[in-house]
Structure 1
């Protein structure tokens, strides 16, 4: 695991992103239910995803499926100083909770936006240097690749494998095997949390 990712996971306390009744599970390597069919990510999976994503200070990041806001906060820690992070979340009740959790954790400037069910990501805020997705796609989503900078990358699970992919669609790294809920079908795919790696 990358030393920077290890330091971020020490600095951002998972307990603050769990319901009170579930905080005893903060140190366990398992996904934890946070309500609304969502989970807070399994730490070992988050470590793998963030290491593959390789966010750097000054990067602009998009967190697809913010959930409780934990991975959003981890990204904010990794891109400081000078970077920015915005999360998107499809479940309205979790949007406000994630925002409150981020403020309490010391990240008041990190934005969490309601996801548009007809668009994947946040194309109006693009381009991004890094995009993190925690729901399984049938293929690497072209819609997200279009939201990357020329040197950007997305980490997304595709058919059980975690893929790091550059803006041209070239696979930079592959790790398996992981289990996630699928990106939901609407007018376009919708992003949600993964059961093993949900937010």
Structure 2
């Protein structure tokens, strides 16, 4: 995916729509911004790097794990377009409501945010997915998310301080490392 598609998504999905009212003036800040419940709206430069690694294409089915404010769900919705589908999952009930309200500011009827079940990682019942974005840090690569990737699927996830790209190739997972990052923990 060219940088232009990611830049277009950033222009079409304003970060300020996905921040608490008191933080909207800081939307241009290239750093994480607290959204409550120990969660953040991630640093834009980090989100852009993750989206470029994920290489989202129009028409794909994408899972957004740890959707938080809904910003990444909106960005992914823009990238897949109306022929695609994005499902955001979030553990914190207040953030599910916050993310849904924020996502409703745009016209992305093919994207939604749902509460995740405690103890269930991702959306095994909706699998397989073409792309999975994980916006919280795991201690080790979550095998249950890798199992939700379809053929030729890609997952981007921060694991133990390193951004990993997992590519599902010929029935097996190929993992590559792409820099050090800090995220809130995956629960």
For the criterion TM > 0.5, the same-fold answer is yes
- CA RMSD in angstroms comes to 1.2
Structure 1: any 5+ residue segments left out of the alignment? 185-199
Answer yes or no: is the 8 Å Cα contact 2:82–2:110 preserved in 1: no
1:16–1:105 Cα contact (<8 Å) kept? no
C-alpha contact (below 8 Å) 1:140/1:169 kept by paired residues: no
User: Within 5 Å, which residues of 2 pair with 1:168-179?
Assistant: 168-171=172-175, 173-179=176-182
Residue ranges of structure 2 left out of the alignment (5+ in a row): none
Provide runs of 4+ in structure 1 moved above 6 Å: none
Tell me the residue number matched to 1:75.
76
State how far apart, in whole Å, the 2-side matches of 1:44 and 1:82 are.
27
Q: Which has the higher contact order (CA 8 A, sep 6+)?
A: 1
Structure 2 residue aligned with 1:4: 5
Residue correspondence of structure 1 range 41-80 to structure 2 within 5 A: 41-80=42-81
The answer for the alignment partner of 2:87 in structure 1 is 86
After TM superposition, the structure 1 stretch with the greater mean CA deviation from structure 2, 101-110 or 139-148, is 101-110
1:16 lines up with 2:17 in the alignment: yes
Counterpart secondary structure, 2:137: coil
State how far apart, in whole Å, the 1-side matches of 2:163 and 2:89 are. Answer: 20
Q: Deviations over 1:101-148 (max 9, x none)?
A: 111122244211101111100001111000000122222211011111
Give, in whole Å, the separation in 2 of the partners of 1:140 and 1:7: 30
- Matches of 2:58 and 2:93, distance apart in 1: 30
Structure 2: how far apart are the matches of 1:29 and 1:130? 25
Count of residue correspondences: 183
Report the TM-score when normalising by structure 2. 0.94
| Structure 1 residues 44-67: Cα deviation after superposition (integer angstroms, max 9, x where no partner) | 000010000011001000000011
Distance 1:22 1:179 in 2: 21
Equivalent residue number for residue 188 of structure 1: none
